[in-house]
Structure formats: structure tokens, C-alpha cells
Amino acid sequence: MQITQPAPNLFETILNHLKEAVVFADHRGRIQIFNPVAVEFFRIKEKRALGKRFERVIPYKIIRKQFNSVYEKREGHHDIELAIHVPAVSEEEAQILRCSFYPVFDRQEAFIGCLATFADITEKGLLSREISQSKDLSTIGMLARWMAHEIRNPLSSLNINIELLRDELREEIHLAQKEEIQSLLNFISYETLRLENNLKEFLDFNRLPPLRFEWVQVNEALDSIVHLLRPDAQMKNARLEVHFQRKLPLVKIDVSQINLAISNLLINSIQAVSEKGEIHLITRGSKKNVFIIIQDNGVGISKEHLHKIFDFMFSTKPTGSGLGLSIAKKIISDHHGEITVKSEVNRGSTFRIRLPLNPK
Ligand SMILES: Nc1ncnc2c1ncn2[C@@H]1O[C@H](COP(=O)(O)OP(=O)(O)OP(=O)(O)O)[C@@H](O)[C@H]1O
Ligand SMILES: [Mg+2]
């Protein structure tokens, strides 16, 4: 195929936009492809990497070993997790890369080089460690479903963009590497479809039990939480007081999930107060709603943080995972209710939950 006009470099565009590092070394081990994420991971400029042998470019022995093995055995290794120590970042902290190494052959089956991809999964690794430390299974289930949703949205927009690229490619008559690009696109599209199907299966079959609503007296449900958490407050010499309105109207709720939400709030209050702290748990009823109010005289929340506290994984605590409030908010909104907060630094915080008696 001949190039009659400068071909828009689709191939390069794809490589530049991938979130993974992509490195290709030819049959002599000389680097021919080194995309921007590879530059970031291996801290060497593309210009300096191209044409050099991979041993001189890749600063990590464990990764060089994988390349060598492809050259020796002509076999790939997929999804291996390797920990690398980036000296500039920290002596102790490792970055975890998920890597795949593929031997590449031409149409005559001759070996033409090794393609390697690297994805940084350090954060995910940390996340799974945090999850494994958490004993609350319902929290984990909810978190997992949440994540699945979060991944599914960008994934479908990715698919649309792949289709757009495919359409554009179809119109390119004079593009030299059209076939290669097409097969690369097929590969990406296959992988995203696979991911999408896995997520779909997960969401369909592995969801949390649906909300199990029952008519209850909120005071009774709250009593059991107070009973459980009072010792924690006492350990800090703090008081946990209840002020329940008698004859509160019944509400239709999933008791275990509402309990999870309220305990998250109470735990935050216990953590926020110092010695001689006070935490008040108040209930009120109106014609249309039941209100649950949690008030503490703890450290309070700065204006700067206040709008972020319900965000997934936002935390100001050294060992906090930042899940408590985001989960509480999700539960309350599943009940068609509302959660609001008022807070002042060094004076305390008040969280107010509204649960409608007749949710639409
Ligand atoms: N009662 C409170 N007093 C002061 N700050 C609070 C209070 N409740 C929440 N916060 C702030 O909101 C942040 C988010 O709270 P959230 O419960 O979601 O996460 P966390 O408590 O940090 O971690 P986790 O609950 O997952 O253990 C906290 O880190 C803290 O800064
Ligand atoms: Mg918390």
C-alpha cells in the first residue's frame, strides 16, 4: 500500500491516549514504541529511549527479566503484578504495575519483537488491602457495586469512541498501517467488551440483597445502636445521650441499612469529640417525616472540607477510608430521604437525616 498523502497518525493518537504504558522492542531488543505513560513510568524521554536496547532503557530488573524471557521462549505472560521501587518517590513505597508481555509475529510467523503493557494499580492494591481489613461485609458489597457502576459509565463512552475511530479508519483509503491499526482497535474493543460483560454479570448476579423494607419505630432501631456504641464513647470519657420523641410515627425502612448509616455518623462523632465530649441523638416526627439528628461538640469541619465530606473516599483521618459518610448518604437517598450537615470548627457538628413517611 502506498501513502499518497500524509496519513493522520491514528496509531500514535491511540498510543498517546492509552492509560497504560506501551513499550515495543523489535527482534533485536531495540525499543520502537515508547508511549507517554511509559515515559512517566520509566522516567526516560521517548527520544532517548527509541532505538536503544530495552536493557538500557528499563530501569527495573524484574521487568527486564520478563522481556528476556519473551526473547528466549517466545511466550507471553499476562497480568503479572510487579512491585517497582521508584527512587524519586520514596525509598519504601512501591508502585504496583500490572504488566503483560506479548511476543509479536508477522504473517510469516517470524518473531518481530516483544510488546509490553503496564498499568499502575498501586491505588487499587491499597484499596483492596483496606477492604480486606474492613469487617463489615455490607460495606464491602455496597462499595463493590458502587465501583462497578463507576467503571461502567466511562467504559461505554470508551466503546463509542472506539466505534468512531473505526468509522474514520474505514474512510482512510491511503493509510499504510490500516490493517495493523484495525487489529489494534479490535483488540482494544474486545478487551473493553470483556470488561463490560464482567461488570454486567457482577451487577446482575452479585448485587446486595435488595432493600428489605419493614414498618418500624425508629427509636427501637436506634436503641440497639446506642447500646453497641456507648462503650466506645465511654472509652473516650464522652457522653452519648438520647432524646427520643415518644410516639414517633412508624417508618418503612431497611433497618439493617439505616443502622449502618447511623452507626457511621455516630462513630464519626465519637472520633470527633475529645474527653468530656457530648453526643446527642435526637428523634422528631412530623406529619410527613421522621428526623434523626446527631449532634456533637467535637472538632467540627472546616468550610473548605464541608462540601467534600460526603464524597467517596474523602477522609481527613490518618487511617480513615472515607467511606462512612458516602455510604450513609447512599442509604438515605435509597430511602428517598435527605441528609444535611451544619458544622463549625472547634464547636461541633450536627447531622440531620429526614426520612419521609410515604416515600414516593
Ligand atoms: N462528626 C464529625 N466531626 C468532624 N468531622 C467529621 C465528622 N463527620 C465526618 N467528618 C469529616 O468527614 C470526613 C469523612 O467522613 P467519613 O465517615 O466518610 O470518613 P472517615 O470517618 O474519615 O473514614 P471511615 O468512616 O471510612 O472510617 C472525615 O474524615 C472527617 O474529616
Ligand atoms: Mg467515618
| Per-residue pLDDT reduced to its tens digit, 121-140 | 877 655 554 444 444 445 55
d(CA 356, CA 340): 14
- Work out which ligand 1 atom sits closest to the CA atom of 299: 4
Residue 238 · residue 279 · CB < 8 Å? yes
d(CA 277, CA 238): 5
| Per-residue pLDDT reduced to its tens digit, 61-88 | 989 999 999 999 999 988 888 878 766 5
d(CA 296, CA 279): 4
- Work out which ligand 1 atom sits closest to the CA atom of 315: 29
Residue 240 · residue 265 · CB < 8 Å? no
DSSP 263-312: HHHHHHHHHH--TT-EEEEEEEE-SSEEEEEEEE-SS---HHHHTTTTST
Q: Whose CA is nearest to atom 17 of ligand 1?
A: 324
d(CA 221, CA 200): 35
d(CA 359, CA 289): 9
Nine-digit cell string for 336: 428517598
Pairing of strands 289-296, 278-285: antiparallel
| Per-residue pLDDT reduced to its tens digit, 14-53 | 888 888 999 999 999 999 999 999 999 899 999 999 999 9
Where exactly are the structural domains of the chain?
8-126, 134-208, 214-356
> What value does the mean pLDDT take over residues 267-296?
95
pLDDT, position 231: 83
Q: Which amino acid is at 158?
A: L
Selecting from 3.30.1330.60, 3.40.50.2300, 1.20.1740.10, 3.30.565.10, what CATH number does the domain 214-356 have? 3.30.565.10
CATH number of the domain located at residue range(s) 8-126 in this protein: 3.30.450.20
Residue 70: CB atoms within 10 A of its CB come to 22
Give the distance, in angstroms, between the CA of residue 342 and the centroid of all CA atoms in the same chain: 28
Q: Which ligand is nearest to the CA of 267?
A: 2
Fold agreement between 8-126 and 134-208? no
Over 80: is that where the pLDDT of 204 sits? no
| Class of domain 134-208 (CATH, top level) | mainly alpha
Q: What are the DSSP E strand ranges found in 132-246?
A: 214-216, 239-243
Cα distances from 319 to residues 207, 236, 269, 288, 305, in angstroms, run: 28, 18, 16, 39, 17
Q: Which ligand is nearest to the CA of 322?
A: 1
Over 70: is that where the pLDDT of 150 sits? no
* Structure confidence at residue 1 as a pLDDT band (50, 70, 90): very low
Residue 291: CB atoms within 10 A of its CB come to 18
pLDDT, position 271: 93
Higher local confidence (pLDDT), 223 or 175 = 223
d(CA 71, CA 284): 72
Residue 64 · residue 118 · CB < 8 Å? no
Determine what percent of the chain is predicted with pLDDT higher than 70.
85
pTM of the model: 0.53
Write the burial class of residue 73 (CB in 10 Å: 0-12 exposed, 13-18 middle, 19+ buried).
Answer: exposed
323 lines ligand 1 (CB under 6 A): yes
264 lines ligand 1 (CB under 6 A): yes
Q: Can you name the residues that pair with 113 across neighbouring β-strands? A: 26, 104
